[in-house]
Each structure stands twice: as structure tokens, then as C-alpha cells.
Structure 1
Amino acid sequence: MTATTAEHSTTTTAPRRSWLTGPFGASVAAALLFALLWQGVGMFHARIPGPAPVLAAAIREVERGEFFFNFLISMQRFGIGMAISIVAGVAIGLAIGSSRLFDDMFGDVNLVCLAIPAVIWALLCAMWFGFSDTAPILTVVLSAIPFVVVNVAAGARSIPPALLDMSQSYGVARARRLRHVVLPAVTGYTVAGIRFGVMSGWNGLLLSEWFGSADGVGHQARYWYDANQLPGFVAWIAFFILFMVIADRVVLERLTRRAFRWRDVDSTPSTSIAA
């Protein structure tokens, strides 16, 4: 006598969430809560301007054309600095991660650079190069490149040695091995390093323009600070923070998800039949 039992899996569907209860709703709620707290603190502290005067100052800066002019200057410096950081950081990171000699020579140097805050690089570059584009660009490079290097090096170390040995034993050329084995393996680490590098480099750019520049977002923030016009100062800081949040959420976060999409494994419930 044979008994056949069928075990049916039950699929539970997650409740559908509206935009009010999803990530967008949570972000809106957090923003409203922050605005209320900001308004409350501004009502009881004369040196903290509330949202209304800051918004008015921001609108005036946009109408005067100061926002677009200075923002484009800062973006040009930031773009050049990040391009240099990514190219040089990937090359140095691959060298450190794949060669013990390079690791011994430059690994600790990169850790020291990683520990130096962006404000120190901004001060040094302002002292070295004065009021020129070189100072903010170099500050971005020095602030961002250690993050790219350390992440790419970690990715290079994570490549299984057996895979490299196999490709070498099959006579795969070094250029093809780099293109088809090494670079795909470190792509996710590179994107993560770029994400941290962008944050650190953007902070370094603001500080560099604050200390030693005649234009740009950082210069405008300091201009209103020195004039004791705090709404204008906070408005430029708000521009700075808003751009960083938008860039991280719209561009960098999507790149990170795309780079690590191989980790997303679809797990579907299975039906087991025992006879």
C-alpha cells in the first residue's frame, strides 16, 4: 500500500503599499518633520534663520543669476577632480590589490591619506596654489582618490587566485584577462568607492572654495557669512546639500544597485511531492 502525499507551498504576497507608506512617503514625512523642527528652533534663536527667510534668499540668488554661474563653476572643478580620481584611483587600487610589492609600498600611504580630513587638504591646497582653479580641483582629487583606491584594492583581492591561474595557464593575454576577469570583478567595489569619493570630494570642494577661491558655491557661502547675512549663507549650504542628496539618490544609488545586481537571487517557493 503506497501513500502519496503532496506538500503544497503557500505563497504569501506582501501587502501593497501606497506612496504614502512607501519610501517616498517616508522621505516626505522626514522632510516635513525636519522643516517643523527647523521652524521651531528658528523662532527661539535669533542666529538661526527659519525656512522662510532662507527660501527667500535662495530665490533671490537664483533671480540674480548667482546660483547658476557659481554652481556651474563648482561643477566644472568637481567634474575634473572626480574624473582624475576615478582613473588614477582604479589604476592604483588594481596595482595595490594585485601586487604585494605595491601593497607594501603604497598601502599604508593610502590609509594615511584616507585618515586626513578634507578640511586639511583644502587648507593645504589653498596655501600652495592660492586663488586658482588648481586648489579646488586638487582638493577634490586628494579627498576622493583614497576611497576609490581602498575599494578597488579590496575588489582586486577578492578575485579567486585559481581563476587568475586558470586564465594564465590557458594563455589568455594580460589585456584580455584584465578586461574580462579583473575589471568585471571589481566593478561593484569601484562604484562603492566612487560613491564615497563623491561625498568626500564634494565636501572638499566646498571647503577649498571657502578658503581660497573668488567664485563657486563655497565662495558664495563665505561671502554671505562674512556679511553676517545668515539666510544667504544657509541658502548656499542648502544648495550644496540638496545637490549631494539628489546626486546620491538619483545617480549613485542606482549605479550601486546595478553594479551589485548579480547578488539579487530570485527565490521562488518550490512544491515538493513525496511518494
Structure 2
Amino acid sequence: MLPLAALLVIWQLVGSAGSPYLPPPSTWWTAVRGLHAQGSLLPAVVVTIETFAMALTAAIVLGSAVGLAIGAAPRVRRAAGPLLEFCRAMPPPAVVPVAVLLIGFGQTVAVVVVVFTAMWPIVLNTAEAVRSLHPVLLESNRSLHLPVGVRLRKVYAPAVLPGILLGVRVAAPVCVIVTLLVEMLTAADGIGMLLLQAQRNFVSAQAFALLAVVGSFGFLVNAGVVLVERRVMRSWPPRGADL
């Protein structure tokens, strides 16, 4: 944080309020207040947060399920491997036009594109966590004829959760980035659209102010994910505990 604060202070001291390209940070606050007075800032922030939250939740659920299926079933892994690699390598801007053709404009297409992009780290980390289970533990699991619920709770869950959390740490920033990208490409409501409008109208102060808002949101998201991961893992049993 110290280098960033020093950069902003230097920028403020040497910058000019009349600069059309690099307005000083003091003008950003004025730009944010102007957007808020117009009634456009708060609704855009709410839409972006809603899209991000829904997409991240869906990515966690879908990515965990797919990763568990791939990691636990070698046949599924071999059959779905090439398709998953093809989908994972597809860039988000290339997905947006097809998603718009199939779904149309609106928040739904943004959620679908973000989920499609952000779920792969969770899928891969979850599958690898399941595959890393010790063969002796799996054989003991079969020999004891444990019920499905006990297997999930005492064998698979302790192995899968660290992988899911690691995947979420990677997927959360991706969700933020792709959410803004889709809002720009589809002209949907949100911070991305406001940022694009500021760029098109050459309102530099608004563009930098919205960029600061986006950066702060990404910082808070990452800090929240790290905090949740630490608290969960502190109380989570080790792999195979209480089997």
C-alpha cells in the first residue's frame, strides 16, 4: 500500500487539474460525487456486485461438481478432458457474441459468460484434490462399506475443500475482470459501462475515479476470500480424520 500511496501523493503534487489525460487524484473525488449526484453510480455498483456474486456462487457450485466427477471417475476424465481443455482456453471476448446470440442482452448473459470463464480454476483444483487422495484411504473406504454421506463428509470433503478454496482465490479476481469486460462489450448496466462511457466522452477524471472504485472492489474481494479461507481451514479436519 505504501508505494501506491506515494505514487498518488506525487501525482497530486505534480499533476494539473486541467490536464485532459492525467488529472490529479483530487479531481477523482469530484467526479465520483458528480456521478452519485446524477444517480448513476450507486445503481451501477449494485448491478456489478450482483452479477459478480451470482456468477461466483454458480462457478463454485458448478466447478466443484464437475471437478469432483472428473477427479473421482477416470473414464469421465478421459472422455471430457479434450472438451474441457478446449473450453478453458477460449477467451471471454470470443464467448460474448455467441452468448448474446443464444441468450440475448441483459444480466443473464453476463452471469453465464463469467461463470463459463471463472469455473475452470475451481474444476481443475477440485479434480486434482480428489485425485491426490491416497489409494490406501480409498481402499479402506471401500472395505468399510461406508455410506455415501459418510464418504463425502469424512473422505472426499476434507480432500476437496482446500482445492475448492484455492480455485476460488483464482476465480474471484477473474470474475471481477470478466464482469466488467462483459458490461463493456454488451453495454449492460454496471461499472464497466460507466467506465466505457467516461472513456468515449474523454472524461478522464471519471475514468480514473471508476478505475479506483474497481480496484478497491477487487482488493476487498481478494481480502474477503483470503479471510474466509483462513477461517475455514483453521477449523477443518485433516484428510481422512475420524475415518
TM more than 0.5: yes
Displacement after TM superposition at 1:92 (Å): 0.3
User: Which residue of 2 is the match for residue 266 of structure 1?
Assistant: none
- SS at the partner of 1:231? helix
User: Which residue of 1 is the match for residue 123 of structure 2?
Assistant: 149
Provide TM-score, normalisation by structure 2: 0.86
User: Which residue of 2 is the match for residue 252 of structure 1?
Assistant: 225
> Per the alignment, do residues 74 and 259 of structure 1 end up closer, same or farther by CA in structure 2, a change over 3 Å counting?
same
Kindly name which structure, 1 or 2, has the bigger radius of gyration based on alpha carbons.
Answer: 1
Kindly indicate which of the two structures has a greater share of residues assigned to helix: 2
In the alignment, structure 1 residue 102 sits paired with structure 2 residue 76: yes
Which among 153, 158, 166 is matched to residue 179 of structure 1?
153
> Per the alignment, do residues 242 and 122 of structure 1 end up closer, same or farther by CA in structure 2, a change over 3 Å counting?
farther
Which among 206, 217, 228 is matched to residue 243 of structure 1?
217
In the alignment, structure 1 residue 47 sits paired with structure 2 residue 5: no
In the alignment, structure 1 residue 77 sits paired with structure 2 residue 55: no
Q: CA RMSD in A?
A: 2.4
> Per the alignment, do residues 137 and 87 of structure 1 end up closer, same or farther by CA in structure 2, a change over 3 Å counting?
same
User: Which residue of 2 is the match for residue 34 of structure 1?
Assistant: 7
Q: Deviations over 1:202-256 (max 9, x none)?
A: 111101010113411111111111112121122222211110101211x111123
1:1-275 equivalent positions in 2, closer than 5 A:
27=1, 29-39=2-12, 42=15, 46-126=20-100, 128-249=102-223, 251-261=224-234
User: In structure 1, how many angstroms separate the alpha carbons of the residues matched to 2:11 and 2:90?
Assistant: 32
> Per the alignment, do residues 147 and 185 of structure 1 end up closer, same or farther by CA in structure 2, a change over 3 Å counting?
same
Structure 1 stretches of 4+ with a deviation exceeding 6 A read none
Q: Which runs of 5+ in 2 are unaligned?
A: 237-243
Question: Which letter does structure 1 place at the counterpart of 2:8?
Answer: A
Provide TM-score, normalisation by structure 1: 0.77
> Per the alignment, do residues 42 and 122 of structure 1 end up closer, same or farther by CA in structure 2, a change over 3 Å counting?
farther
Question: Which letter does structure 2 place at the counterpart of 1:182?
Answer: Y
